[in-house]
Structure 1
Amino acid sequence: MNKTIAVIRGDGIGPEIVNEAIKVLDAVAAKHGHTFTYDEVDMGGVAIDKWGDPLPQAMLDKCLAADSVLLGAVGGPKWEGLPGPQRPEKGLLRLRAGMGLYSNLRPAKLWPQLADASPLKPSIVEKGIDFMVVRELISGIYFGEHKTVEQNGEQVATDVMLYAEHEIERIGRIAFETARKRRHKVTCVDKANVLDTSRLWRAVMHRLQPEYPDVEYSEMFVDNAAMQVVKDPSQFDVIVTGNMFGDILSDEASMITGSIGMIPSSSLGDGTRGMYEPIHGSAPDIAGQDKANPIGTILSAAMMLRYSFDMAAEADEIEAAVNKALDDGLRTADMMAEGCTLVGCAAMGDAVTARL
């Protein structure tokens, strides 16, 4: 198979972790006879410095022409003082919108080797943590109207949360279809006791539910869901929710798994092309020091093979190689434990590659 991958190394530790994911992808390609061609794309702070724009149109066009996109991380304190439309994160929002990536799939999985690193009590951890947050990505309050005006002598800010039925239906279908590949349970998380948008979410989900009689469906208010994620995460299989609630809950879910450096994610729309990235930030404090954990990016590459390239066996091999590296006691600084061997970013990438 011949595939073109748009590679966004980005800022901070982004170039380091992407290097290791590419190392693993190249090993997979050599083993299975595939060809992966990488097209370099500037986005985020590096694009601002080079082009004066967090995502120039020419860079977006490269992503649209590729079979999929692999992203490291964007942003950092260097660019925090810029106006909103010029900040690195704006490039990410424009990329999602430009590619029509309306659904973000973020697994919350505790690797057994890292059980002691979870902040939850052992009695909770031993029940298992393995669920997926399906987050709507290009609508809701992040994409509604934002304005600040002066009213009665003071500043008044407004952010509009807007959802249309078709936007809810397409993300709802993603959730139900994802559950069919897992444990057949969907929980819709909202604030239907307060918000009209949430009541519309429920109405659309109720309409979809009869099409998936094999999937158990339930609903939960977001404040309760935030508590239940730490009280008993084993009850969840697939959580589907809006943009802002998903942003918050998926970060909470990542922290109970022991290390944010281990969590991959995929952003998908219609068709097979997607964007794949680890969930952590650019970590400028350790950039260039070979301290970053590349596993989240490596597992993101595995998700790309699985969801965009229909290479399930190759994805399984990458995940098995990561598991073996952890079994062998290799740890980066963020997940180091007594009795394990501390390795750097490049060495961890080499270790996973070797175990392929």
Structure 2
Amino acid sequence: MTTHKLLFLPGDGIGPEVAREVSKILTLLSEAGIGTFETEEDLVGGAAIDAHGVPVTDATVKLAREADAVLFGSVGGPKWAGVRYEHRPEAGLLRLRKDLGLFANLRPAICYPALASSSSLKPELVEGLDILIVRELTGGVYFGEPKEIVTLDNGEKRAVDTQIYTTGEIDRIARVAFELARKRRNKVSSAEKHNVMKSGVLWKEVVTQVHAADYADVELEHVLADNCAMQLVRRPKQYDVIVCDNLFGDILSDAAAMLTGSLGMLPSASLGAEDAAGRRAALYEPVHGSAPDIAGQGLANPLAMIGSLGMALRYSLGLGDVADRLDQAITNVLDSGSRTRDIAAPGQNALGTAEMGNAVRDALKPLLA
């Protein structure tokens, strides 16, 4: 059997709880002869600050580079609210993205039929929803320099964040979006603000050039990011793949996630460029945060974390067929009426974290036979 090397970074809050449910799935896959999964675990975020004084160590970054895939839980919480900005828990995740070159963030927004009524929108607007947001992850305003707060001569303070993009950065994320669209419904919507931002002007220009040169078979539309946000609420199923910069991708992907009923349902993948051997650095994480208010209570929904494993199987481990079966197992569990607290109807008896993990494992087992 092929050996796959995985690094677990459970992090803070509910991260360790949902990560444990992934381990159950991996054990089942090993028992079914799918492959051998070598796992290692390390600290990130607040847990790393407590142990090492920094949100991620050089040694952990090295382990991440050597792994076939990183499975990341969540970081942050009120316990670390007073740490220096540069050492906040979230800085550990930002460093991993930057140092591993994880420039392409894939965030699906899928509304399972059984959960259409859980969305804040009318069921007919979201039932069957399946869109993918491709977010540029290592450039833009989150990383641009200068990034500072300075005191002016008159005593006022001025804050500066710099939005920077190069042709190459836009070109490579556009190609990821077009390639993914070819495997889906063959449509890309490029969201930016060329009407008020020079970076948006360049973004639109480069995406248009890439499309004309190599992807003319894919439908392309340009949409202003604010209008895209409105359309996601008005008529979300008009979209297939949405490609956008770091800032707009952060905002639009959270909006799209809530169309599905719960942040606890959605996985994500962050991918680097392929090397000469076709291997790419990759980190997989649930969209939800650390949820410190329910941490340690066994209430968290593990489906986003389990779905993140599914994306790892598909994009890093060459096990797309197994990923399909894992997706089907999740669908079957939801169709059976099983719910965690975040997606349960009022008065419904909700499953705990471990119970939901067990339900997915049990539903997957016959699909692997």
TM-score range, shorter chain: over 0.9
* Correspondence 1:277 to 2:285: yes
Following the alignment from structure 1 to structure 2, what is the Cα–Cα distance between the partners of residues 175 and 92? 23
Post-superposition shift, 1:122? 3.0
Q: What pairs with 1:290-309 in structure 2 (closer than 5 Å)?
A: 290-309=298-317
Q: What pairs with 1:120-135 in structure 2 (closer than 5 Å)?
A: 120-126=121-127, 128-135=128-135
* Correspondence 1:167 to 2:175: no
* Correspondence 1:335 to 2:338: no
Give the one of 125, 143, 159 matched to 1:157.
Answer: 159
Q: What pairs with 1:38-49 in structure 2 (closer than 5 Å)?
A: 38-49=39-50
Following the alignment from structure 2 to structure 1, what is the Cα–Cα distance between the partners of residues 239 and 309? 25
Following the alignment from structure 2 to structure 1, what is the Cα–Cα distance between the partners of residues 33 and 325? 11
Following the alignment from structure 2 to structure 1, what is the Cα–Cα distance between the partners of residues 348 and 22? 23
Post-superposition shift, 1:341? 4.4
* Correspondence 1:69 to 2:77: no
**Structure 1 stretch displaced more, 296-305 or 268-277:** 268-277
1:268 is matched with: 271
Post-superposition shift, 1:340? 5.3
- TM-score scaled by structure 1? 0.98
2:277 is matched with: none
1:317 is matched with: 325
Following the alignment from structure 2 to structure 1, what is the Cα–Cα distance between the partners of residues 325 and 34? 15
Following the alignment from structure 2 to structure 1, what is the Cα–Cα distance between the partners of residues 77 and 347? 34
Give the one of 229, 237, 240 matched to 2:240.
Answer: 237
- Structure 2 CA distance for partners of 1:33 and 1:187, relative to 1, 3 Å: closer
Q: What pairs with 1:69-108 in structure 2 (closer than 5 Å)?
A: 69-108=70-109
2:36 is matched with: 35
Q: What pairs with 1:15-30 in structure 2 (closer than 5 Å)?
A: 15-30=16-31
Amino acid at match of 1:244: L
Following the alignment from structure 1 to structure 2, what is the Cα–Cα distance between the partners of residues 338 and 77? 29
- CA offsets per residue over residues 9-46 of structure 1, 9 Å max, x none? 10000000000011112212221341101111211000
* Correspondence 1:223 to 2:226: yes
Give the one of 184, 202, 215 matched to 1:212.
Answer: 215
Amino acid at match of 1:76: G
- Structure 2 CA distance for partners of 1:52 and 1:163, relative to 1, 3 Å: same
Following the alignment from structure 1 to structure 2, what is the Cα–Cα distance between the partners of residues 122 and 19? 33
Amino acid at match of 1:156: R
Which sections of structure 1, spanning at least 5 residues, go unmatched?
none
Amino acid at match of 1:45: G
Identity of aligned residues (%): 49
Post-superposition shift, 1:339? 8.3
**RMSD value over aligned CA atoms?**
1.1
1:199 is matched with: 201
Which sections of structure 2, spanning at least 5 residues, go unmatched?
275-279, 365-369
Following the alignment from structure 2 to structure 1, what is the Cα–Cα distance between the partners of residues 332 and 237? 24
Q: Contact 2:134–2:177 at 8 Å: present in 1 too?
A: yes
Following the alignment from structure 2 to structure 1, what is the Cα–Cα distance between the partners of residues 324 and 89? 33
Q: Contact 2:55–2:89 at 8 Å: present in 1 too?
A: yes
Segments ≥4 residues shifted beyond 4 Å: 338-341
Q: Contact 2:13–2:295 at 8 Å: present in 1 too?
A: yes
Post-superposition shift, 1:81? 1.4
Following the alignment from structure 2 to structure 1, what is the Cα–Cα distance between the partners of residues 159 and 165? 20
- Structure 2 CA distance for partners of 1:270 and 1:29, relative to 1, 3 Å: same
Following the alignment from structure 1 to structure 2, what is the Cα–Cα distance between the partners of residues 153 and 302? 53
Amino acid at match of 1:30: E
- Structure 2 CA distance for partners of 1:155 and 1:9, relative to 1, 3 Å: same
- CA offsets per residue over residues 82-101 of structure 1, 9 Å max, x none? 11111000000000011110
Q: Contact 1:329–1:340 at 8 Å: present in 2 too?
A: no
Following the alignment from structure 1 to structure 2, what is the Cα–Cα distance between the partners of residues 33 and 223? 44
1:142 is matched with: 142
Q: Contact 1:107–1:264 at 8 Å: present in 2 too?
A: yes
Q: Contact 1:120–1:256 at 8 Å: present in 2 too?
A: yes
Amino acid at match of 1:165: T
Following the alignment from structure 1 to structure 2, what is the Cα–Cα distance between the partners of residues 37 and 102? 26
Post-superposition shift, 1:121? 1.8
Following the alignment from structure 2 to structure 1, what is the Cα–Cα distance between the partners of residues 327 and 129? 17
Partner secondary structure for residue 107 of structure 1: strand
Post-superposition shift, 1:80? 1.4
Q: Contact 1:11–1:75 at 8 Å: present in 2 too?
A: yes
Amino acid at match of 2:266: I
Post-superposition shift, 1:153? 2.1
1:349 is matched with: 357
Post-superposition shift, 1:63? 0.5
Following the alignment from structure 1 to structure 2, what is the Cα–Cα distance between the partners of residues 3 and 122? 40
1:59 is matched with: 60
Amino acid at match of 2:240: D
- CA offsets per residue over residues 180-218 of structure 1, 9 Å max, x none? 111000000000001110100111111111211221000
Amino acid at match of 1:144: G
Post-superposition shift, 1:150? 1.6
Q: Contact 2:101–2:281 at 8 Å: present in 1 too?
A: no
